[in-house]
């Protein structure tokens, strides 16, 4: 099996979010996929198989779970298809657990059409703010992820979650967000229940962040800055059914799995 490791949502090595990409001819047992993802020990490993329904069937695994959507590993998978596997067209159609995904090559960038999941306001989940070390929040909303809105980017950067307490809440993911200093919005993403304490750059979070910030700021096009230690910038456009997320990627590693 070939293996690629790609830094997504960046044009520099050692930045953005690293994802492993493993192209396959057919699907092996799920247990082998989980073992490979655990061995890679990255936030996501993507697996690709040619599909009759689309160009490829795409699946994503954290070190502990299969997930229904992952943005940065989708971008990494498309980069591998375009730049290493000689995919002949500028548009790739994936079939996934979240439905069909379309990815387009535009010069040096790759754009993905992700689902739109508008979040709705909810009462803070018991123990959530305490696990984040917060006394309060401007708002708490929920879609796939729980969004905790703060007043400024400095507040987002300063949060030091109690990961054990956050994992015990069994929420899929928690996104902290606030107006950005150098972008429309800043955010961080935590998913300890899925085997990922803090994700470096999370494309799928845009499915809920973009509808929220579009309504709040009144703009269809938004730049989001994920302020993790590695950091990444995502250029997004709102659509009522799809969120278009654009970014770059660079390849760090190419090799073979000896199985």
Q: Quick one: DSSP state of residue 204?
A: T
- 159 near 133, Cβ under 8 Å? yes
Question: Whole-angstrom Cα distance, residue 15 to residue 30?
Answer: 30
Which residues are part of the catalytic machinery?
44
> What's the DSSP call for residue 15?
S
- The gap from C-alpha 28 to its chain's centroid, in whole angstroms, comes to 25
Contact 92, 57 (CB under 8 A): no
Distance CA 128, CA 148 (A): 9
d(CA 163, CA 192): 7
DSSP calls for 64-102: S-EES--HHHHHHHHHHHHHTS---SSEEEEEETTEEEE
- Length of the chain as a residue count: 259
Do the strands 221-226 and 196-199 form a parallel or antiparallel pair, or are they unpaired? unpaired
In angstroms, the Cα distances linking 77 to 18, 193, 247 are: 11, 24, 13
Residue 66 makes CB contacts below 8 A (sequence gap 6+) with: 30, 33, 34, 59, 60, 97
């Amino acid at each position: 099996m070939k293996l690629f490791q790609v830094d997504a949502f960046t044009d520099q090595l050692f930045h953005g979010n690293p994802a492993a990409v493993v192209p396959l001819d057919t699907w092996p047992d799920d247990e082998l996929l989980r073992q490979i993802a655990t061995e890679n020990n990255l936030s996501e490993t993507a697996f690709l198989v040619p599909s009759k329904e689309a160009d490829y069937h795409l699946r994503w695994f954290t070190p502990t779970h299969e997930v229904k959507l992952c943005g940065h590993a989708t971008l990494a998978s498309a980069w591998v298809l375009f730049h290493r596997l000689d995919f002949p067209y500028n548009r790739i159609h994936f079939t996934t657990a979240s439905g069909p995904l379309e990815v387009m090559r535009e010069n040096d960038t790759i754009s993905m059409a992700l689902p739109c999941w508008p979040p709705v306001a909810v009462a803070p989940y018991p123990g959530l703010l305490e696990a984040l070390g917060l006394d309060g929040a401007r708002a708490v909303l929920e879609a796939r992820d729980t969004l905790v809105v703060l007043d400024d980017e400095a507040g987002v950067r300063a949060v030091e979650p109690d990961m054990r307490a956050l994992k015990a809440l069994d929420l899929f993911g928690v996104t902290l967000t606030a107006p950005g200093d150098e972008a429309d919005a800043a955010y961080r993403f935590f998913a300890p229940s899925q085997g990922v304490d803090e994700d470096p750059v999370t494309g799928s979070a845009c499915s809920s962040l973009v509808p929220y910030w579009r309504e709040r700021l009144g703009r269809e096009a938004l730049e989001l800055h994920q302020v993790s230690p590695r950091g990444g910038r995502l250029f997004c456009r709102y659509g009522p059914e799809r969120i278009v997320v654009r970014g770059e990627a660079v390849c760090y590693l190419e090799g073979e799995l000896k199985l």
